[in-house]
A and B are shown apart, each in its own frame.
Chain A
Amino acid sequence: MNKGMGKALLVTIIIATVCALGLAFTEKMLRKRIIDNQALAESKSLLKVLGFKDVKPSEINDIMKNSVKKIQFGTSFYHKATNVQGKIILAFPMKGKGLWGPINGYISTDETRRTIVDLIITRQEETPGLGAEIESESFYSQFRGRKIFADDNPSVVKISVAPGRRSSGEYEVDGISGATETCKGVNNMIRNTLTKAMEYSHVQN
């Protein structure tokens, strides 16, 4: 190796080290703030499906502490709260797989676990403009007030997301055209969560 090459490498290594240290320092200084922000955003989503709309950031922790109860069932948990109209709402965390990565969210039901109250997606890495549209008010609004079970079979979850097309029938919601795999992922996630919620419906506290 000639002398010029050695010097070039040395300069590169020094610059890279200085940059890496700068990054590590910034990250370390701000990590706590970022984690707090993420936790706050998560709580805000949870409160939204529980019927607490337009909550101020400063009130989130108070409401979480005083009005929301976390209830363990099996290896999982759900949240229980009484909304402004005095109705009990249950919120179940959802975990699923999309086309590109994990999808997380919350789905809330009434006390009987037979009607959907609301839904929110808190994490997704789907295609912007297509699959990513699952994280939008227009997608959420389709679920509000929908029946989960058919009247003639109250044990098998009936509601589903139409894979990449318009809904047909009373128990389907519109899928997103061009995002068939994402819709299938969301469909599985919602149905698994609701099935499990029903299986453990005897667990109250």
Chain B
Amino acid sequence: MSKIKKIFLNGIWLENPVFHQVLGVCSALAVTTRVKNAVVMSAAVIIVAALTNFTVSVLRKIIPFNLRLIIEMIIISTFVVIFDIILKAWFFDMSRQLGPYVSLIITNCIILGRSEAFALKEGPGLSFLDGIASGLGYTLILLSVATVREILGTGSFWGYKLISDADIPARGLSMAGGAFIVMGVLIWVMNSIKLSGNKEV
């Protein structure tokens, strides 16, 4: 039980893939103009990370050590492409908006990183949970950045207008540069909170 708790604590907070390990930042910057896109992207990463970790863990005893990266890539690509096909079949508009970023989950370091660091050593059940935990860590950052950018940059939330077009406070945040600023501030804030927590312990 405590092991499961530790997995989630690590994945979401202590070793959060984005603000602690600074992995998967490329897509985190690209899809955070709208909260809706961020949610779908997060779901994709959680599902792919969990399934990949599970599969790699099941196969970990027969995967040849020197070919393991290739095999991990094959497994990751399979799940990502299947998710992409399902998105195109049932959520066509969403798939158009996310564009190439769903396919780019293949190169998302979070997923390869977790299967290397965790799934090759631990059992399938724990690996599956570790994938979910890392995915949730990614989700936390994605949703925070997307909320700030959508509200301040486009004056809406989940597509609903909150602020009239004339009064949008920081239109620049919806541009690529705005993503770097929000992400930078967020990493700074999160790490400060974490460090101050460490001192007390």
Enumerate chain A interface residues (CB-CB to B < 8 A).
Answer: 4, 7-9, 11-12, 15-16, 19, 22-23, 26-27, 30, 33-34, 37-38, 40-41, 128-129
Stretch at the interface among B6-14, B56-64, B180-188: B56-64
Contact A26 B67 (CB under 8 A): no
Interfacial chain B residues near A22, Cβ < 8 Å: 78, 82
B99 and A15 within 8 A (CB)? no
A–B pairs, 30, beta carbons within 8 Å: A8-B64, A8-B67, A9-B67, A11-B64, A11-B67, A12-B64, A12-B67, A15-B63, A15-B71, A15-B75, A16-B74, A19-B75, A19-B77, A19-B78, A22-B82, A23-B81, A26-B82, A26-B85, A30-B85, A30-B86, A33-B89, A33-B90, A34-B89, A37-B89, A38-B92, A41-B93, A128-B30, A128-B99, A129-B175, A129-B176
Beyond A26-B85, A129-B175, 18 additional pairs, beta carbon < 8 A: A7-B64, A8-B64, A8-B66, A8-B67, A11-B63, A11-B67, A12-B64, A12-B71, A15-B71, A22-B82, A23-B81, A23-B82, A27-B85, A30-B85, A33-B90, A34-B89, A41-B93, A128-B99
Q: Taking the nearest CB of chain B, how far is it from the CB of A82, in angstroms?
A: 28
Name B111-135 residues within 8 Å CB distance of A: none
Measured CB to CB, the closest approach of chain B to A10, in angstroms, equals 9
Instruction: Say yes or no: A23-B78 contact (C-beta < 8 A), given A30-B86, A34-B88.
Output: yes
- With a cutoff of 8 Å between Cβ atoms, the chain A residues found around residue B74 in the complex are 15-16, 19
Q: Is B193 an interface residue (CB 8 A)?
A: no
| Contact residues, B36-84 vs A (CB, 8 A) | 59, 62-64, 66-67, 70-71, 74-75, 77-78, 81-82
The complex places the Cα of A26 from the Cα of B82 at a distance, in Å, of: 7
CA distance A46 to B74 in the complex (A): 39
**Does residue B96 face the partner (Cβ distance < 8 Å to A)?**
yes
- In Å, the complex CA distance between A3 and B75 comes to 25
A residues less than 8 Å from B81 (CB atoms): 23
* Chain B: number of interface residues, binned into ranges: 20 to 34
How far is A34 from B64 in the complex, measured between Cα atoms in Å? 37
Chain B residues whose CB sits within 8 angstroms of the CB of A12 once the complex forms = 64, 67, 70-71
Q: Which residue on A lies nearest to B96, using beta carbons?
A: A41
Across chains A and B, which 4 residue pairs bring their CB atoms closest together, nearest first? A8-B64, A37-B92, A19-B78, A30-B89
CA distance A34 to B95 in the complex (A): 11
Residues of B contacting A40 with CB < 8 Å?
92
Residue from B59, B82, B176 in contact with A15 in the complex, judged by beta carbons closer than 8 Å: B59
How far apart are the CA atoms of A40 and B92 in the complex, in Å?
10
A50 to chain B, nearest CB (A): 20
Contact between A37 and B88, CB atoms less than 8 A apart: yes
List chain B residues, Cβ under 8 A from A26. 82, 85-86
Q: Residues of B contacting A19 with CB < 8 Å?
A: 74-75, 77-78
Smallest Cβ distance from A92 to chain B, in angstroms?
A: 23
A191–B116 Cα gap in the complex (Å)?
54
Q: How far is the CA of A26 from the CA of B80 in the complex (A)?
A: 12
Residue of B nearest to A5 (CB): B64
Bound-complex Cα distance A19 to B66 (A): 20
Judge whether B62 and A11 touch: CB under 8 Å: yes
Q: Which residue from chain B places its CB closest to the CB of A8 in the assembled complex? A: B64
Residues of B within 8 Å of A30, CB to CB, are 85-86, 88-89
- Least distance between B92 CB and chain A CB atoms (Å): 4
B residues less than 8 Å from A9 (CB atoms): 67
Enumerate chain B residues within 8 angstroms of A11, measured Cβ to Cβ.
Answer: 62-64, 67, 71
A19 to B86, CA, bound (A): 16
